[in-house]
Amino acid sequence: MNVAVAIIGLAVLILLHEAGHFFVARAVGMNPRRFYIGFPPALVKVRRKGIEYGIGAIPLGGYVKIPGMHRPAPSDLDVLFGPALQEQPQVFPKVAHVRRALEAFDLAAAREALPALEATVDEATLSPGAARAAQRGLGELKDGLSDDAYWRQRTWKRVAVIFAGPGMNLVLALLLPAIAYMIGAPGDPNRFVRHVESGKPAAVMGLHVGDEIVAINGKPTPDFNAVSHAIRNGKGEPITLTVLRDGETLRLGPATPTKINGRYILGFNPSWNKRRFSVGAAFGQSAHDNWVATKGTATFLPRLLTGAGRKDVSSPVGIVDYSSQAAGITFTLFLQILGLISLSLALLNLLPLLPLDGGHILFSLIEGLRGRAVGREVYERVSAVGIALFLILMFIGLSNDIGRLGGG
């Protein structure tokens, strides 16, 4: 159940990220073509006012299609209509007409030539694959040549649309912990037992919810830090607990801790001292937490070049694991962790690498300064580098998570 809650939480963060792009795009005059819950292919879809709304088969996050992210280029026609040209040469004159217009940077002429190209494609007898490619090509050309195409907009509009995604995550990063602080966020853990995991050494030795752990192996434990330190640093040796239960002192055990995720545990969770804040104080504390986390991220990125830094990288598998553990402790702690994940998503997306949002913002600023759009081939080459780096990072994170979850 906690894992499902964690997955839903992560999906909602991604969905709201995409919603930020969607609503700001509409506000500045770029009419998105699609908005999906989940990723295509579509399970259910409906069209309203030129926008296709749907539920995708891949149930994680969301997807927004903003028209004309790149300026149409003559070379695009080879990719988009290549199969159709091979099967039906009569399509060539209409494709060549559009190509000449694009080569001359005559967008009006290219747009005027599209109906004739569309009619020829519709009349041609094409294989299913070639027909799909040609129809996709027509759609890409229509979007790229439309008045609301992204690449044709003023720089501030483009930056606003792209920044809206991570901007939404930044808002959530501030809001979610603030809500937790207003409800009553967990402060320092105490010595009282809140939950005992079935089948774990703590349950076998007879530890109960509500017990107060006052000593381990005869040594007093003034706070939970002392409890945690004694268990984790006992090197797996048998442990005896002294607890207070209903005013009576009991001696439990010995029991041998089990090793999970590379650390020794008995299998219980402590209670937490709650901290409740006023609205202003809650947002102030949340802002402070976000600033500390942001500084930590800034110092962490250079450490990716070192072995120690790479060991701290996590993938979505690890994110779900950490947030599910938080959900199993308290809902408010889960909100705090979700806020930190939202902040991480924002900071990751703002890195100046394509295809991340930060890369699109950077290229929008470059295009604004040079006064003309960068060709699609440049985007694709730079994106290939960014995708490679991202995949390497994901591989490192997944390897770390598999090792950690496997107890390595």
Token code pair at residue 250: 């009991």
Which comes out higher in pLDDT, residue 6 or 148?
A: 148
| Residue 250: band (very low, low, confident or very high) from pLDDT cuts 50, 70, 90 | very high
Three-state DSSP at 240 gives strand
Q: Which range, of 95-109, 156-170, 256-270, 351-365, averages the lowest pLDDT? A: 256-270
**In sequence order, what are the beta bridge partners of 258?**
265
**In sequence order, what are the beta bridge partners of 195?**
269
Looking at residue 168, its pLDDT comes to: 96
Distance of CA 32 to the CA centre of its chain: 21
> CA of 402: how far to CAs of 184, 194, 316, in Å?
34, 29, 11
Token code pair at residue 361: 């913002």
Instruction: Please determine, for residue 407, whether its predicted confidence score (pLDDT) is greater than 50.
Output: no
Query: How far apart (Å, rounded) are the C-alpha atoms in residues 269 and 104?
Result: 69
Looking at residue 221, its pLDDT comes to: 87
Distance of CA 239 to the CA centre of its chain: 41
Looking at residue 63, its pLDDT comes to: 83
Instruction: Please determine, for residue 224, whether its predicted confidence score (pLDDT) is greater than 90.
Output: no
Instruction: Report the chain's mean pLDDT, rounded to a whole number.
Output: 84
Instruction: Please determine, for residue 251, whether its predicted confidence score (pLDDT) is greater than 90.
Output: yes
Buried b (16+ CB within 10 A) or exposed e, 395-405: ebbbebbeebe
Which comes out higher in pLDDT, residue 3 or 121?
A: 121
Each residue of 102-138: pLDDT tens digit? 988 898 999 999 999 999 999 888 899 989 999 999 9
| Residue 333: band (very low, low, confident or very high) from pLDDT cuts 50, 70, 90 | confident
| Residue 398: band (very low, low, confident or very high) from pLDDT cuts 50, 70, 90 | low
Q: Which range, of 147-156, 183-192, 324-333, averages the lowest pLDDT? A: 324-333
What domains lie within the chain, and their CATH numbers?
2-69 (no CATH), 74-145 (no CATH), 178-183+277-405 (no CATH), 189-275 (2.30.42.10)
Asked if 297 contacts 341 with a C-beta cutoff of 8 angstroms, the reply is no
Instruction: Please determine, for residue 219, whether its predicted confidence score (pLDDT) is greater than 70.
Output: yes
Instruction: Please determine, for residue 158, whether its predicted confidence score (pLDDT) is greater than 90.
Output: yes
Query: How far apart (Å, rounded) are the C-alpha atoms in residues 398 and 332?
Result: 27
Check the CA dihedral 173-30-145-154 and report its sign: negative
Instruction: Please determine, for residue 170, whether its predicted confidence score (pLDDT) is greater than 90.
Output: yes
Residue written as tokens 């984790």?
232
Which comes out higher in pLDDT, residue 326 or 181?
A: 181
What SS3 string covers 157-203? HHHHHHHHHHHHHHHHHHHHHHHHHHHCEEEEEEEEEEEECCCCHHH
Looking at residue 150, its pLDDT comes to: 92
DSSP-H helix ranges across 276-330? 279-300, 307-310, 316-329
First to last CA, the chain: 25
Instruction: Please determine, for residue 322, whether its predicted confidence score (pLDDT) is greater than 90.
Output: no
High-pLDDT (> 90) share of the chain, %:
32
Instruction: Please determine, for residue 302, whether its predicted confidence score (pLDDT) is greater than 80.
Output: no
Task: Write the Ramachandran bin of 50: left for phi over 0, alpha for psi from -120 to 50, otherwise beta.
Answer: left
**In sequence order, what are the beta bridge partners of 259?**
264
Which comes out higher in pLDDT, residue 187 or 338?
A: 338
List the one residue out of 30, 285, 12, 314 whose CA is nearest residue 169.
12
| Most confident among 74-83, 171-180, 262-271, 288-297 (mean pLDDT) | 171-180
Asked if 204 contacts 197 with a C-beta cutoff of 8 angstroms, the reply is no
In which element (H, E) is residue 19 found?
helix 2-27
High-pLDDT (> 70) share of the chain, %:
86
Looking at residue 114, its pLDDT comes to: 92
| Nearby residues of 27 by Cβ (< 8 Å), 6 or more positions away | none
List the one residue out of 20, 321, 322, 318 whose CA is nearest residue 172.
20
Query: How far apart (Å, rounded) are the C-alpha atoms in residues 36 and 338?
Result: 22
Q: Which range, of 216-225, 310-319, 340-349, averages the lowest pLDDT? A: 310-319
Looking at residue 26, its pLDDT comes to: 94
- Exposed, middle or buried: residue 218 (CB in 10 Å: 0-12, 13-18, 19+)? exposed
Looking at residue 49, its pLDDT comes to: 85
As a whole number, mean pLDDT of residues 201-215 equals: 91
| Residue 142: band (very low, low, confident or very high) from pLDDT cuts 50, 70, 90 | very high
Q: Which range, of 15-19, 40-44, 45-49, averages the lowest pLDDT? A: 40-44
| Residue 408: band (very low, low, confident or very high) from pLDDT cuts 50, 70, 90 | very low
| Nearby residues of 369 by Cβ (< 8 Å), 6 or more positions away | none
Query: How many C-beta neighbours within 10 Å does residue 331 have?
Result: 14
Which comes out higher in pLDDT, residue 93 or 310?
A: 93
Asked if 286 contacts 178 with a C-beta cutoff of 8 angstroms, the reply is yes
Instruction: Please determine, for residue 280, whether its predicted confidence score (pLDDT) is greater than 70.
Output: yes
Looking at residue 3, its pLDDT comes to: 67
Asked if 336 contacts 185 with a C-beta cutoff of 8 angstroms, the reply is yes
Query: How far apart (Å, rounded) are the C-alpha atoms in residues 181 and 286?
Result: 8
Query: How many C-beta neighbours within 10 Å does residue 216 have?
Result: 21
| Residue 78: band (very low, low, confident or very high) from pLDDT cuts 50, 70, 90 | confident
Looking at residue 342, its pLDDT comes to: 92
Each residue of 357-397: pLDDT tens digit? 999 999 899 988 888 777 777 877 888 888 887 777 767 66
Give the amino acid at 193.
V
